[in-house]
Structure 1
Amino acid sequence: MKIAALQMVSSPDVSHNLARAAALVAQAAARGAELVALPEYFCLMGRRDTDKLALAERPGDGPLQDALAALARKHGLWLIGGTLPLQVPGDPDHATNSCLVWSPEGRQVARYDKIHLFRFDDGERRYDEAATLCAGPATPVAFEAHSRAGESFRIGLSICYDLRFPELYRALMHPPCDLLVVPAAFTYPTGQAHWELLLRARAVENQCHVLAPAQGGTHENGRRTWGHSLIADPWGEVLAMQAEGEAVVMAGLNLARAAEVRQQLPALTHRRI
């Protein structure tokens, strides 16, 4: 099954971002992708952290969710909607950073709320997601996707900063996933240091493919994200990558390759903890 990571440079203009997302999904579909993933905050890179709160939708009801469902249905593919903000009942000052998944029929099949909230301060750049976000429940989320050829794939969800917490991915391996998805908006300094290193490590230690769609470039709000959206195989080999700018990053999700790696080096069966 062909899979695609969509790299974006999202802006404070929601309509523009939706149009660019739709164009990239269409490009991926035209190239034969059956599963497509958008990056974190595909819908908005605001001028202020609080901008996302005005955009937050009720679960299952809102223009962003409707647009993504329609895209999945139009192109007949599995669509992992990067992340978008969802309302927290009784707390207008916070939202969840949520990854929603739609089937080729446009039906929502999974929701994962980001568990680990990013905080960073190097004296020049400061970020604290907890100021506007509520962490999701510490429950791993995976779903089953089916290719047009009839193959089934178990796909585990995570978001950006989750990448630094390998215990989440270990928990997703009961039973083992075939693909781990990591939509992200990594900062430039942290991405330059750790992005590819951590993604390849997650692929190697869990012996499965990794799909990582990212924000990649300089945004209108002045923030620069690392990009380097990539797809890695179960041996940690990078199959495709785009450094910066809008892109459709594609490769094949190969069950036989994962089976070969797990047979030759059965590390998953050797776990003791």
Structure 2
Amino acid sequence: MTRAALLQMTSGIDPAANARILTSGVEGAASGGATMLFTPEMSGLLDRDRDRAAGSLAREEDDRVLAAVREAAVKHGIWVHLGSLAILRDDGKLANRGFVIDDNGAIRASYDKMHLFDVDLPTGESWRESNSYAPGERAVTVKTPLGVLGLAICYDLRFPDLFRALSDAGATLLAVPAAFTRPTGAAHWHVLMRARAIEAAAFVIAAAQTGVHEDGRATYGHSLVTDPWGELLLDMGEAAGLGFADIDPARVEHARSRVPVIQHRRPIPTVEAL
């Protein structure tokens, strides 16, 4: 049995302030007995004003938030899944990139969000991630102290083929850091998280943004951990802060022996349209 910590944040427009929250979260997670900390999507900067945000963007090797979290991981002897940062690419586009950092500060894996949130909501909210971000092109798993972790980010949650590929590749845990809008969160957050866990017979760990942010957006919160049977082990509600959940690998084997969905998967044939 190992312990996971989740940091629920209300990230703002100042990367230095967000870095202080993150490093404090690393310390708190380690003090609480966690082996690994999970943080939300866009942990380092959440700003829909592109001109203002531009001055805070950096390449991976120059990103100060990433450097601060790597240093904190070493100091406190804990792994961190830094849910995602806005990383400047050489082509001028951005990557919505998550990082798995070990307790020596090494980056063990990174993942660029594959599915971009280009959506008009009934509330009048309109989002066009593809105006600034380039989509990732590969699925990623990585060995961690909690087990084999499959990486996803926020809107990826709605595309079950990604999670099938991750569990086919051996993932027993699925990370879904997020900054869900309130309307979509209220409608779909819990049911989709539980569905992905049940389909893959794997843990889902979803650290989320919450509250009203400096750039005016509002996010849903409810960072959660779901076990492989779809049982909620943690739901953090709307308050920012740290939450903890114990991860028992035996739950994966138990779920997969009761309903062997991984074993029963078959290739999907070409659809015959009649």
Q: TM-score, normalised by structure 1?
A: 0.93
2:56 corresponding residue in structure 1: 55
Q: 1:270 to 1:47 in 2, by over 3 A?
A: closer
- Mapping of 1:50-129 within 5 angstroms? 50-91=51-92, 94-122=93-121, 124-129=124-129
Unmatched 5+ residue regions in structure 2? 268-274
Q: CA deviation at 1:42?
A: 1.1
Matched, 1:158 2:128: no
CA distance in 1: counterparts of 2:243 and 2:51, whole angstroms: 31
1:222 corresponding residue in structure 2: 216
2:37 corresponding residue in structure 1: 36
CA distance in 1: counterparts of 2:17 and 2:242, whole angstroms: 18
**Preserved CA contact (<8 Å) 1:9 1:245:** no
Q: CA deviation at 1:101?
A: 1.2
Overall identity of the aligned pairs, in % = 39
Q: Alignment partner of 1:81: what SS?
A: strand
Displacement over 6 Å in runs of 4+: none
- Per-residue CA deviations over 1:170-216 (Å, capped at 9, x if unaligned) read 00112321210001000110111001110000000100111000001
**Preserved CA contact (<8 Å) 1:214 1:229:** yes
Q: Alignment partner of 1:249: what SS?
A: strand
Q: How many residues align?
A: 265
CA distance in 2: counterparts of 1:53 and 1:213, whole angstroms: 25
Matched, 1:266 2:260: yes
Unmatched 5+ residue regions in structure 1? 148-152
Q: 1:174 to 1:52 in 2, by over 3 A?
A: farther
**Preserved CA contact (<8 Å) 1:8 1:214:** yes
Q: TM-score, normalised by structure 2?
A: 0.93
CA distance in 1: counterparts of 2:227 and 2:194, whole angstroms: 8
CA distance in 1: counterparts of 2:9 and 2:57, whole angstroms: 20
**Preserved CA contact (<8 Å) 1:203 1:210:** yes
Q: CA deviation at 1:52?
A: 4.1
Q: 1:53 to 1:35 in 2, by over 3 A?
A: same
- Per-residue CA deviations over 1:103-124 (Å, capped at 9, x if unaligned) read 1110011010000000121351
